[in-house]
Structure 1
Amino acid sequence: MVSRHHVGRAWRLLAILILGFASGLPLALTGQAMQAWLTVDGVDLATIGFFGLVGIPYTFKFLWAPLMDRFELPWLGRRRGWLALTQFALAGLLWWMATLSPSATPQLFALAAVLVAFLSASQDVVVDAYRTDLLPEEERGLGASVHVFAYRLAMILSGGIALIWAGQWHSWPRVYGVMATILLVCGVLSLVLLPRVASASKPLDSDPRRELLGFAAMIAGVVVGYALARQALVLAGLNPNDANKWIQLLFVLVEIAAALPLAYWLAKRTGFETLNRSLTSYFAQNGAAAFLLLIILYKLGDAFAGSLTTPFLIKGMGFLQEEVGIANKVIGIWLTILGAFVGGLIMTRLSLYRALLVFGVLQLVSNFGFYVLALLGKGAWGAVQVPAFDWGFVSLHTPAALDWLLLTVIAGENITGGMGTVAFVALLMALCNQRFSATHYALLSAFAAVGRIYVSPLSGVLSESIGWPAFFLFSLVIAAPGVFMVWWMRHALAALGRPPVPVGADD
């Protein structure tokens, strides 16, 4: 007879499975899948690079996370209300994106993508909090594994199978409509199936009205700083719509450089206590700035080379969307999971410092594979035939050829990337668990996304200016400072000890 305890555990793990899937689905829809849509719609490489900035909300989610922790939506209970709201809103926004054309209405399309990224980052905040609140300590390891599996499964769907569907249906809007329907179903399941969690036993010790005022002032600072910087460049005689992509990149960098300090200054002046305390306490730690720099640099070369992988393979090398979907997004993600497991096993015998150093070097070397592919081109090593299949939800009507060099490069990049991610997340866990609060983890994970988001505009302009082979050689140069930082900080890293290693953790 099944006990109530086992039924409760199964219910909790089912909830984690649903939420892990819902959390992983939107990421590619504002990343690699969106890049494929932009590419086949005829958008130029530099503009595709600028579209990488739609992921900016992922780097700032710690700013509004305290508000979602403090305030509860009525009737739906703690966490569950925010989960359902973000999932229904994501479904609506994806339906809207499906009605837009990237080439005909690029600004409107970019706005929709930014809003999708904002809601996706917000959903991630609540999913992480819900998982922590729901699972008892003895179930957290199993719950984390279920979450990672569901998250990666969703990435295979939205980042790999979506490319196969788009190639077969000849319609990216239809693909995004299907993804919107899936998220709508996730929202319904969140309302119906998710167990409730208890409300916070005591409120945070700062004034909620001051928090809201501080958050509003921070947003106002972003808008005002952006507008002032843009106007200053215009008065200097520059045109934001100049055909020269380097001028467009200058506008982006100056606008960001002006908006962020003004936003922080206004937040501090108006009493956004959660943000102020978080930043003050973090930078009071020994070596805080150096660790922050390491976090930004460690995956920078990997992010730089991978920022335009989909346009490179489709537009630069001439691979079909179905080929890229199978090789890079389906096989590639499973290889990332394999790399994470291998990295986790190796880290049982290596210190954190040695793992970061070895895996960092392997990440750097793997970028050389893309240089070889760009130099030799499609078909240099022949191809392997993939037989036709029909799995119901996805099918391949005729046998397809998969390029051996493409598969080799994808295998090397994803396996080493998975290994590097395991060591990197272990570093974040060590910092968070031994020195910083949970709020700092949100801060550190946000800075970890900086490379993935902010190198994209530079990647687009640079690849268009110097060509693909030189671009991937440059990615090796970009990766070197992260490896050097690991060596330079070897004594500080050794002092962190050997924390538990998460296998297959989120990028």
Structure 2
Amino acid sequence: MTAVKSGWREAFLVYTRPRVLGMVFLGFSAGLPFLLVFSTLSAWLRDVGVELSVIGFFSWVGVTYSIKVFWAPVVDTLPLPWLTKCIGKRRSWMLLAQLGIAAGLVGMASADVESQLQWIAIFAVWVAFCSSTQDIVIDAYRIEAVVVEYQGAMAAMYVLGYRIALLVAGAGAFYLAEYFDWSIAYQMMAACMLVGVAATLIIDEPLPNEDQEARKLARQVEAAIGVAGRRNWLARLGAWFSDAVLSPFVEFFTRNGKFGLMILVLIATYKMSDITMGVMANPFYLDIGFSKKEIADISKIFGFFMTIAGASIGGVLVARYGIMKPLLLGAVMAAATNLLFVLLAVSEPSLALLAGAVSADNLSGGIATSVFIAYLSSMTSTAYTATQYALFSSLMTLPAKLLGGFSGIVVEHYGYELFFIYSASVGLPAIVLVLVLMRRYARVNIQSPSLKKRG
């Protein structure tokens, strides 16, 4: 698992490559719908008098993002009639999802909240479904479009576009709703999806990169379950299920052997420290005496720019040093910066100290995110890009979110100081696993199929 190292000049020039720059616009397209079916939608519903209990039910829309792995095999393998022939497999699915998002937002804007709340719920689920489908395709495109040493930069540009979209769908939608109304705000958000549509039509389709070893393995799996070479429709359906669903998992463990399970555990634990701390961050700021305005100012200004800076640095480090050393750095920094909040917890409220802690936390989070995305990208086979990455991305957040649910209990029983020490300690398994995998890659010098040059 190595990448070609380059000089610092070449490492920084990675951000001038057209496909890397194009990820800003695709990241914007991916980030825009997210808040529009979550916090922005909650604000709209509450603003017009919808009961809190009903608003709470709308949070279930988010389940769609967590189960996208179930239809990722369809996106990975099935062509769209006519459209795929015209613009390619990845771009056709991307365009369809973007048009679906825009149509869903227009539907939400057209429904009357007081008398047609059920239609807003239906359209919100539709937007979330199309948005998560778009995520599947953009992730697959990003992995297939460039070689692995550019994946950190691709992730950094994606994060930049995504963060800008969150500002537009958050603060931007609020401003539009204040000066006009929520219907106009959602119509304008639908129009903003044209950014993604234009990017999809401009970018080039990645060149197909058929993995012969993966195809051979797929035929072996078909034979093992008894659907190889059969002609009836049930056997053909079984063969598709074998190729699209079973083979991606078999291929991953065949390629990585006994270390496959260790890699999955790393994926499940790498963001655990960051997510666990994040659950209690805002309550902590309020409890130690900072005002909501102070928290917003610090998190928006320092948080936004330091995350972008960290993601950009992560992209440069991957291009310069490969993946594993920056991956270790990100794991160490994500855990270590949590200890800064211990100092904040035992000190008098200080905006300078808050800004320093938030800056360090977001900088390390940005580095860890872009490097980790590059690592996940390198772990996928080009034969099953969308399916394997959808699995990885779901595994990346689900255990951490489950553990984060116990954060309040830890704070109530032991206080914030011990909680932040605890949140730093849950990052130790990821550090150990990265070190073990670094030794493994150095010893056997294995290069994953995903490191091959892509179109």
Instruction: Tell me if TM exceeds 0.5.
Output: yes
Alignment of 1:304 with 2:276, yes or no, is: yes
Aligned residue-pair number: 406
Alignment of 1:20 with 2:20, yes or no, is: no
What pairs up with 1:166-315 in 2 under 5 angstroms? 166=174, 173=182, 177=186, 180-186=189-195, 189=198, 193-194=201-202, 197=205, 271=241, 273-284=243-254, 285-307=257-279, 309=281
Q: Taking structure 1 as reference, are residues 359 and 43 closer, same or farther at Cα in structure 2, changes over 3 Å only?
A: farther
Alignment of 1:64 with 2:71, yes or no, is: yes
Structure with larger RCO (C-alpha < 8 A, sep 6+)? 2
Contact 2:176 2:182 in 1 (8 A): no
CA distance in 2, matches of 1:212, 1:330: 55
**Worse overlay, 404-413 or 109-118:** 109-118
Per the normalisation by structure 1, the TM-score is 0.59
Aligned with residue 299 of structure 2, among 315, 324, 328: 328
Deviation string for 1:234-265 (max 9, x for gaps)? xxxxxxxxxxxxxxxxxxxxxxxxxxxxxxxx
CA distance in 1, matches of 2:346, 2:45: 24
CA distance in 1, matches of 2:92, 2:105: 20
Contact 1:371 1:472 in 2 (8 A): yes
Contact 2:149 2:322 in 1 (8 A): no
1:338 alignment counterpart: 309
CA distance in 2, matches of 1:66, 1:326: 42
CA distance in 1, matches of 2:46, 2:83: 44
1:155 alignment counterpart: 163
CA distance in 2, matches of 1:146, 1:354: 18
Report the Cα offset of residue 39 of structure 1. Answer: 11
Contact 1:327 1:407 in 2 (8 A): yes
Deviation string for 1:13-43 (max 9, x for gaps)? 8865543321233345567767988999999
CA distance in 1, matches of 2:252, 2:80: 27
Deviation string for 1:306-355 (max 9, x for gaps)? 245456657986643x6555532453233123223444555678685554
* Unpaired stretches in structure 2, ≥5 consecutive residues: 1-15, 223-230, 449-455
Contact 2:152 2:371 in 1 (8 A): no
CA distance in 2, matches of 1:276, 1:283: 11
**Worse overlay, 60-69 or 75-84:** 75-84
What pairs up with 1:37-76 in 2 under 5 angstroms? 55-69=62-76, 70-75=78-83
Q: Taking structure 1 as reference, are residues 213 and 427 closer, same or farther at Cα in structure 2, changes over 3 Å only?
A: same
1:410 alignment counterpart: 358
Alignment of 1:431 with 2:396, yes or no, is: no
Instruction: Give 2:331's aligned amino acid.
Output: G
2:134 alignment counterpart: 123
Instruction: Give 2:367's aligned amino acid.
Output: M
Contact 1:19 1:127 in 2 (8 A): yes
Contact 1:15 1:194 in 2 (8 A): no
CA distance in 2, matches of 1:326, 1:405: 14
Contact 2:23 2:161 in 1 (8 A): no
User: Which structure features the higher share of helix residues?
Assistant: 2
CA distance in 1, matches of 2:400, 2:112: 25
CA distance in 2, matches of 1:469, 1:86: 45
CA distance in 1, matches of 2:307, 2:442: 26
Contact 1:430 1:496 in 2 (8 A): no
Per the normalisation by structure 2, the TM-score is 0.65
CA distance in 1, matches of 2:175, 2:323: 43
* Unpaired stretches in structure 1, ≥5 consecutive residues: 1-8, 215-267, 382-402, 501-507
Aligned with residue 475 of structure 1, among 410, 413, 423: 423
Contact 2:74 2:244 in 1 (8 A): no
Report the Cα offset of residue 116 of structure 1. Answer: 4.0
Secondary structure of the structure 2 residue equivalent to 1:449: helix
CA distance in 2, matches of 1:375, 1:450: 31
Report the Cα offset of residue 109 of structure 1. Answer: 8.3
